[in-house]
Amino acid sequence: MFFPKTRLISYGLLASTGAETFVSQPRSSWSVCLGWRRKAGILPSLEDLLFYTIAEGQEKIPAHKFTTALKATGLRTGDPRLKECMEMLKVTVKTTSDGALDRHLFKKCVQSNIVLLTQAFRKKFVIPDFQSFCAHMDELYVKAKNMSGGQVADYIPQLARFSPDLWAVALCTVDGQRHTVGDTKVPFCLQSCVKPLKYAIAVHDHGTEYVHRFIGKEPSGLRFNKLFLNEEDKPHNPMVNAGAIVCTSLIKVMNFMNKLAGNEYVGFSNATFQSERESGDRNFAIGYYLKEKKCFPEGTDMTSILDFYFQLCSIEVTCESASVMAATLANGGFCPITGERVLSPESVRDTLSLMHSCGMYDFSGQFAFHVGLPAKSGVAGGILLVVPNVMGIMCWSPPLDKLGNSVRGIQFCTDLVSLCNFHNYDNLRHFAKKLDPRREGGDQRVKSVINLLFAAYTGDVSALRRFALSSMDMEQRDYDSRTALHVAAAEGHAEVVRFLLEACKVNPVPKDRWGNTPMDEAVHFGHHDVVTILRDYHTQYSPQESTGDDKTNAEKNLDGML
């Protein structure tokens, strides 16, 4: 009978010395590295480590294997930050007979972008297990795709052209990890999704105080194009048409859009612009009302501003390029795929605040309640969603509900937050755990097991109480199938044993890899008090008389011991 009392400590130390990078690698690859390190007497370079990680013991890496492995991390070969690497790869592969790279050629290709590549392959991005996260996104996409209902907007004739079946989701993380599903290459107009972007630019250019001399910060509670001002005769906020038209008078050029999108697709639909202008009586009425109430800066030409407003609504994006815009907001104003600072932190903070409170019009309160993230909808069917410090998402499907928001987009956002702990208030302590994709599955599990079993090992009941309160699985096991109850019984921590049994109702007779139960541990290490607790609990909760032949080793030993 093997009693592995000390194994956990060695495992825990390994995991806690930052060596988990190796632990998480296939043993074959990191033992090769360690062996290589010993032989050469020097630390392997990052390029060498990367080569061994991808080569998996082979002498060469086929170029397609490298690019496939790269995409699995979420990075694209078209990512501007990998330009040098991809160009060198293209040239280098041509010099080989088999399209495969040995260690020397591989180093030549990756060395110019080695820091980003190392982060990617060491799973140090915000979504470490990107592939499984994307699988979840695809499931949510399919669920929303099956939804019917809603109407494609037609008050701007050009919008009515789009099929109600179009549905796309694209995401970009703050580390530039990309995922798309559905009609993500189809261009569509931002419409009101442009409002937070132009507000951000106005605050970036002029500062919060100046911009809000002209525009309020309160939800209007009215439809987006209501001819209505607040008690100061200002537009309620920059997310309704009145506020957006005034905001348009505060900005000059729009090259920001390209920077926000990381130079990905940003176009212009002249047909929509003309259609907007021809069907824009309501907006002209708003414009003249704003002019009458002196809402614009001195000297503003209202009709030119309206033209500019219509042009901005007619800016074309794809879901992909718009997701980068959203990610720039999620990333504090830095574009994740270019690294360029586009917006000031102040402008991003202000924009996300008003998206959160006013971005979804008359649905803003419910969206803040159920989804709890900054978002902005548009009449073309877009929803720009920001998960601060994590990612930006653009959902797009033309059919709108009666409040003017995309039916499928709302469903997707709601399901996303039901699955992942992205809601603004999901981070409360002791909150029921949802999927946290920012933690690698294995990584989170490993740390959780180590924390649990170390608390049992040290007899730390208060820590165990905290874990139980945060709905941790108190029966989880390490790789030897050892549970907290095994460890506590082996160490003789009677109070911990009692807590696990009576408060957490854990299984009293789990077996580890060697067939040991907690009772075996207590008997072997001579902890009589724990033996009594386990025995009494067992008798109380499984009172049927044992026939003797189903007794565990401990119970047989026990007969001799008591």
- Quick one: which segment of 329-337, 372-380, 516-524, 542-550 binds ligand DON (CB under 6 A)? 372-380
Dihedral sign for Cα 297, 299, 302, 307, please: negative
In whole angstroms, the minimum distance from the beta carbon of 500 to ligand DON comes to: 54
Which of 75, 170, 215, 313 forms a contact with ligand DON (CB under 6 A)? 313
In whole angstroms, the minimum distance from the beta carbon of 404 to ligand DON comes to: 4
In whole angstroms, the minimum distance from the beta carbon of 241 to ligand DON comes to: 5
Please give the helix or strand (H or E) that residue 316 lies within, else none: strand 315-317
Q: By CB under 6 A, is residue 276 in contact with ligand DON? A: yes
- Quick one: which segment of 142-150, 299-307, 374-382, 474-482 binds ligand DON (CB under 6 A)? 374-382
Write the CA distances from 189 to 141, 310, 313, integer angstroms.
Answer: 21, 11, 7
In whole angstroms, the minimum distance from the beta carbon of 138 to ligand DON comes to: 27
Query: Which residues are paired to 169 by β-bridges?
Result: 181, 395
Quote the radius of gyration of the chain (alpha carbons, Å).
30
Q: By CB under 6 A, is residue 191 in contact with ligand DON? A: yes
Q: Please identify, using beta-carbon distances, which residue of 194 and 489 lies nearer to ligand DON.
A: 194
- Quick one: which segment of 2-10, 62-70, 121-129, 376-384 binds ligand DON (CB under 6 A)? 376-384
Q: Please identify, using beta-carbon distances, which residue of 283 and 331 lies nearer to ligand DON.
A: 283
Q: Please identify, using beta-carbon distances, which residue of 73 and 406 lies nearer to ligand DON.
A: 406
Q: By CB under 6 A, is residue 379 in contact with ligand DON? A: yes
Residue type, 197: L
In whole angstroms, the minimum distance from the beta carbon of 229 to ligand DON comes to: 17
Report the distance separating Cα 183 and Cα 24, nearest Å: 36
Report the distance separating Cα 395 and Cα 406, nearest Å: 9
Q: Please identify, using beta-carbon distances, which residue of 184 and 272 lies nearer to ligand DON.
A: 272
What is the side-by-side order of every strand in the sheet holding 375-377?
178-182, 168-173, 391-396, 382-387, 375-377
Q: By CB under 6 A, is residue 404 in contact with ligand DON? A: yes
Which of 11, 66, 214, 224 forms a contact with ligand DON (CB under 6 A)? 224
In whole angstroms, the minimum distance from the beta carbon of 260 to ligand DON comes to: 18
- Quick one: which segment of 377-385, 484-492, 517-525, 533-541 binds ligand DON (CB under 6 A)? 377-385
What is the side-by-side order of every strand in the sheet holding 315-317?
188-189, 315-317, 266-268
Report the distance separating Cα 342 and Cα 24, nearest Å: 37
Write the CA distances from 304 to 203, 226, 287, 472, integer angstroms.
Answer: 21, 21, 10, 60
3-state secondary structure 333-374: CECCCCCCECCCHHHHHHHHHHHHHHCCHHHHHHHHHHCCCC
Q: By CB under 6 A, is residue 162 in contact with ligand DON? A: no
Report the distance separating Cα 454 and Cα 8, nearest Å: 8
Pick from 74, 93, 95, 75: nearest CA to 83: 75
Q: By CB under 6 A, is residue 377 in contact with ligand DON? A: yes
Size of residue set near ligand DON by CB under 6 A: 12
Compose the 496-515 pattern: x for residues touching ligand DON by CB under 6 A, - for all others. --------------------
- Quick one: which segment of 227-235, 336-344, 371-379, 533-541 binds ligand DON (CB under 6 A)? 371-379
Write the CA distances from 401 to 138, 486, 494, integer angstroms.
Answer: 23, 56, 59
Q: Please identify, using beta-carbon distances, which residue of 134 and 371 lies nearer to ligand DON.
A: 371
Q: Please identify, using beta-carbon distances, which residue of 225 and 321 lies nearer to ligand DON.
A: 225
Which of 177, 269, 283, 397 forms a contact with ligand DON (CB under 6 A)? 283
Q: Is 232 helix (H, G, I), strand (E, B) or coil?
A: coil
3-state secondary structure 23-91: HCCCHHHHHHHHHHHHHHCCCCCHHHHHHHHHHCCCCCEEHHHHHHHHHHCCCCCCCHHHHHHHHHHHH
In whole angstroms, the minimum distance from the beta carbon of 194 to ligand DON comes to: 9
- Quick one: which segment of 73-81, 331-339, 373-381, 530-538 binds ligand DON (CB under 6 A)? 373-381
Query: Position of tokens 């990052």?
Result: 46
Q: By CB under 6 A, is residue 378 in contact with ligand DON? A: yes
In whole angstroms, the minimum distance from the beta carbon of 162 to ligand DON comes to: 13
Which of 53, 225, 483, 516 forms a contact with ligand DON (CB under 6 A)? 225
Residue type, 498: R
Query: Position of tokens 């038209």?
Result: 245
Count, in order, helices (H) and strands (E) of the chain: 27, 10
Helix, strand and coil content of the chain, in percent to the nearest 5, comes to 50, 10, 40
In whole angstroms, the minimum distance from the beta carbon of 336 to ligand DON comes to: 26
Query: Which residues are paired to 396 by β-bridges?
Result: 168, 382
Q: By CB under 6 A, is residue 275 in contact with ligand DON? A: no
Dihedral sign for Cα 553, 555, 559, 562, please: positive
Which of 53, 158, 180, 241 forms a contact with ligand DON (CB under 6 A)? 241
341 DSSP 8-state letter: B
In whole angstroms, the minimum distance from the beta carbon of 383 to ligand DON comes to: 10
- Closest-CB residue for ligand DON? 192
Which of 180, 192, 351, 364 forms a contact with ligand DON (CB under 6 A)? 192
Residues that bind ligand DON (CB under 6 A): 191-192, 224-225, 241, 276, 283, 313, 377-379, 404
